[in-house]
Structure 1
Amino acid sequence: MKQGDIIIYACVIIGAGIGLMLDQAFPGVLVGLGLGYLIKVGIYKDKDK
């Protein structure tokens, strides 16, 4: 498993936890997925070049 994937999974789990506290788990998962992807791209964009 790549380190970038771990970042996305962690953000999804955190988003789901926050969503469960607000009684909206699925939107929390989607927000976590989006933020995880943006964080991954931000961290690894310089390493692709």
Structure 2
Amino acid sequence: MKSGDIIIYACVIIGAGIGLMLGQALPGVLVGLGLGYLIKYAVSRDKEN
């Protein structure tokens, strides 16, 4: 498993947890997924330079 994938999975789980606390899990998962991809992109871009 790549480290970028772990970042995405962690963000999805955190987003789901926050969504469950607010009463809407699916939007939390989707926000976490989006943030995970953004963080993965930023981390991978930093490693290139």
Whether these two folds match at TM > 0.5 is: yes
Match of 2:21 in 1: 21
Q: What TM-score results when the alignment is normalised by the length of structure 1?
A: 0.92
CA RMSD, Structure 1 to Structure 2 (Å): 1.1
Match of 1:8 in 2: 8
Structure 1: any 5+ residue segments left out of the alignment? none
Match of 2:36 in 1: 36
Q: What TM-score results when the alignment is normalised by the length of structure 2?
A: 0.92
TM superposition shift of 1:45: 1.4
Cα distance per residue 1:12-33 (max 9 Å; x no partner)? 0000000000000000000000
Which stretches of structure 1, 4 residues or longer, exceed 4 Å deviation after superposition? Answer: none
Structure 2: any 5+ residue segments left out of the alignment? none
Higher helix share: 2
How many residues align? The count is 49
